[in-house]
Amino acid sequence: MQLIPKQFTRNSVELREFIQNVEATYEFVEPANYILLFKFVCAKIGGEANTKLLARTHANNWEQAKAVLEEN
């Protein structure tokens, strides 16, 4: 939880830092816990980024969510 300190709210300046923090966190987590971690990551994506981007695309994992965030 502490490895992803800030919520991402679609500020493009903070996107790279958010992605780096999430990817670093995935390195420390066992693959069996990726589903739970992805739910936590989604909770850290707030505001318009979550409601308009992720909810609309139905991202099922971090790679899909990352692609949507980077694209938009």
Give average pLDDT by consecutive 10-residue segment, the chain, 72 residues.
77 88 93 93 80 73 90 81
Give 58's DSSP letter: T
**CA 67 to chain CA mean position, Å:** 10
**CA 46 to chain CA mean position, Å:** 10
What is the model's pLDDT at position 1? Answer: 57
- Residue type for position 42: C
What is the model's pLDDT at position 9? Answer: 80
Q: How many residues does the chain have?
A: 72
Which residue, among 58, 45, 32, has the nearest Cα to 4 in the 3D structure?
A: 45
Report the C-alpha dihedral over residues 63, 53, 13, 15, rounded to 10 degrees. Answer: -20
What is the model's pLDDT at position 6? Answer: 83
What is the model's pLDDT at position 23? Answer: 94
Give the global pTM: 0.82
